[in-house]
Amino acid sequence: MPPDPLPASTIDQAAPGLAVLRRFLPFLWPADQPRLKARVIGAFALVLCAKAIILAMPFAYKAVVDAMDGIADPAVSLAIALVVAYAGARFGGVLFDNLRNVIFEKVGQTAARRLTENVFAHLHALSLRFHLERRTGGVTKIIERGTKSIDTMLYFLLFNIAPTAIELTAVCVIFWIKFGFGLVAVTLGVIAAYVLFTWAMTRWRTRLRRDMVELDTSAYSHAVDSLLNFETVKYFTAEAREAERFSAAVGQWASAAVRSENSLAALNVGQALITNAMMAGAMGYTVWGWSRGMFTVGDVVLVNALLMQLFRPLDFLGTVYRTIQQGLIDMEAMFGLIDTPQEIRDAEDAPALIVREGAIAFDHVDFGYDPERPILRDFSLTIPAGKRVAIVGPSGAGKSTIARLLFRFYDPGAGRILIDGQDIAHVAQSSLRAAIGIVPQDTVLFNDTIGYNIAYGREDADEADISAAARGAAIDAFIASLPEGYETRVGERGLKLSGGEKQRVAVARALLKDPPILILDEATSALDSRTEAAIQATLDQAATNRTTLVIAHRLSTIVAADEIVVLEAGRIAERGGHAALLARDGLYAEMWARQREEREAVTAGRERT
């Protein structure tokens, strides 16, 4: 299992890098994966072997040079042998490095996969409120950058920083033994200056990087949002407006990127000044020692080779540090998603909902998406098992909110919602939603085949089940007319289908699920009268022997309901059968008369044409 997330405040209060690393390292060293631990140990052992070979190479180089001093035939043979040994050592270093990568690759990929799966699962566990308030493009960009940073951070942490520290220790020991403490002190002082300079410059560049990342996310989010709503853009001929907004966002990002790259140039120049000053000083010292007979020519070469090898990763250390800092920023954002609290959580050891009859009761429910704007006020309603109850009312009265509360996308501010006497706040959400089917007003489909979208209603559905559901939703003839049939792709959000076709897919999906409780939220609002009549008969049959909640705007579709509830400003204004409500001559009768006039006007217009 992935490690438990720390509270969001931990990252804010502690050093961000250390806090993120503490959370990430358990993915690298998983308690339940001993084979991956063995791979980490094996990879690091190969790192040590490669480093030992690399440290031996300058000594072979020194021996070659010393053997060439006062050249003689035996010395030529020895020099050639040392050259071969030097070349073999270089090859051995490359070999061990690549074997290390082969062994460790699975560890890095597994860590990235598990962390990404953890984020994805948590996103699906978050409330509807989170997904309505966040931009999908921004969320996907955060996950993409965080995932990409994992492999890079693992490589640099394990195979650059740790080996460089080992190599620095070894070089200092060699310098102490062969050249005295003075050269060790100078080496450590210069490296300390290098690290401090890199740290200070990188902190400055990190702030620039944060700005650039935020602007990049904003620009990407806007682009995705604009493209997803391309029809709306075209309706209002807003292509130029969208291009201008995107250009402004990208322009801000480009300015931030220029500042970031210019700061990189300043960092590289400063690092080069420090390292080359050290190289010049050390080489000057050894040449002076050689002139006094203190060192051999090979010693001069040894110091040069050791410093070259030491500063090669140190030159890269600036890039490593910057990359790790950038990776920590990206991973911090991804962990921020994991730290987003679940607004709707199951109680500990919550039991599964047991639906025996399917009776629903709203008991004095108050709810508002915003505390300052209540939607439902002291709402109480009982839907007997197997009955069909319709809810009607003007826009904003709270009709669709009732369906969302029944699915427990939100918890009420006060009151309870019961199914067969069980408070839905105390049962497992998965069992609650498994017991409820819905045909929503706004049907959004996956960018996959029609067959896949219908089959989404039940995981174990076979082709015969899918075909039966399509027939029940009166969409089978349309599917048969398509060249690819059930394999026809419906496009992004189902945009290749008409509104009526999408709604019929939603009906088929609900029929396939076959739940004990059914919600019809404006289920036929996008259909023509002919198709509506066919599907209405199917829905009437589907509602038989199951509890059905119908949310309707078109009153002609709920005339046969067992009870009609009229909502106004979040309260029940009227309730009763169709005939009784008309006889009362209240709000329902007024809505019925208005819709009848609209139908008659439409009919008269058709006759005139």
**Average pLDDT over the chain, rounded to an integer:** 78
Q: What mean pLDDT is predicted for residues 380-390?
A: 90
CA-to-CA distance for 429 and 608, rounded, in angstroms? 54
Other beta carbons less than 10 A from residue 139's beta carbon: 20
Residue 129 clears pLDDT 70, i.e. is over it: no
3-state secondary structure labels for all residues of 108-126: HHHHHHHHHHHHHHHHHHC
DSSP code of residue 379: E
Amino acid identity of 384?
P
pLDDT of residue 229: 81
Decide if 298 contacts 221 (C-beta within 8 A): no
Q: Alpha helix (H) ranges present in 449-528?
A: 450-455, 463-472, 476-481, 499-513
pLDDT of residue 422: 93
Q: Which domain holds residue 249?
A: 8-339
Query: Among residues 272, 336, 278, 305, which one has the least CA distance to residue 143?
Result: 336
540-544-549 Cα angle (round to 5): 70
Strands 436-439 and 517-521, bridge-based pairing: parallel
DSSP code of residue 441: S
pLDDT of residue 216: 78
Provide the token pair at 141. Answer: 């960009």
pLDDT of residue 13: 38
Q: Which pLDDT band holds residue 5 (cuts at 50, 70, 90)?
A: very low
CA-to-CA distance for 52 and 46, rounded, in angstroms? 10
Q: Read off the pTM.
A: 0.61
Q: What is the pLDDT of residues 29-83, one digit of tens each?
A: 777 777 777 877 787 777 778 777 777 667 766 666 666 665 445 556 555 665 6
What residues have CB less than 8 Å from 221, skipping those under 6 apart?
135, 136, 137, 138, 141
User: What count of Cα atoms within 13 Å lies in the side-chain half-sphere of residue 451?
Assistant: 14
pLDDT of residue 419: 93
Q: Is residue 95 situated within a structural domain?
A: yes
Q: Is residue 331 situated within a structural domain?
A: yes
Q: Is residue 192 situated within a structural domain?
A: yes
Element (H, E) at 107: helix 73-125
Q: Is residue 14 situated within a structural domain?
A: yes
Q: Is residue 517 situated within a structural domain?
A: no
Provide the token pair at 272. Answer: 């080069």
Look-up: residue for tokens 């709402």? 379
pLDDT of residue 70: 54
Other beta carbons less than 10 A from residue 186's beta carbon: 15
Q: What mean pLDDT is predicted for residues 520-540?
A: 71
Other beta carbons less than 10 A from residue 398's beta carbon: 23
Residue 309 clears pLDDT 70, i.e. is over it: yes
CA-to-CA distance for 164 and 601, rounded, in angstroms? 83
CA-to-CA distance for 89 and 63, rounded, in angstroms? 14
CA-to-CA distance for 504 and 526, rounded, in angstroms? 9
Burial of 328 (0-12, 13-18, 19+ CB in 10 A): buried
Q: Is residue 419 situated within a structural domain?
A: no
Q: Is residue 59 situated within a structural domain?
A: yes
What percent of the chain is modeled with pLDDT above 70? 82
Decide if 38 contacts 349 (C-beta within 8 A): no
pLDDT of residue 68: 64
pLDDT of residue 326: 73
What residues have CB less than 8 Å from 178, skipping those under 6 apart?
299, 302
Provide the token pair at 524. Answer: 């036929």
Strands 436-439 and 360-367, bridge-based pairing: unpaired
Residue 341 clears pLDDT 90, i.e. is over it: no
Select the more confidently predicted residue: 341 or 563.
Answer: 563
Among 67-81, 388-402, 438-452, the minimum mean pLDDT is found in 67-81
Structural domain total, the chain: 1
Alpha-carbon distances, residue 373 vs 273, 366, 404 (angstroms): 63, 11, 17
Amino acid identity of 381?
L
Assign residue 103 the CATH number of its domain. 1.20.1560.10
Q: What is the pLDDT of residues 360-375, one digit of tens each?
A: 999 999 998 877 788 8
Q: Is residue 100 situated within a structural domain?
A: yes
Q: What mean pLDDT is predicted for residues 497-518?
A: 85
What is the three-class DSSP state of 387?
coil
CB burial string 419-438: b at 16+ within 10 A, e below = bbebebbebbbebbbebbbb
What percent of the chain is modeled with pLDDT above 90? 7
Highest-pLDDT range among 119-128, 336-345, 521-530:
336-345
Residue 14 clears pLDDT 50, i.e. is over it: no
Select the more confidently predicted residue: 561 or 338.
Answer: 561
pLDDT of residue 3: 37
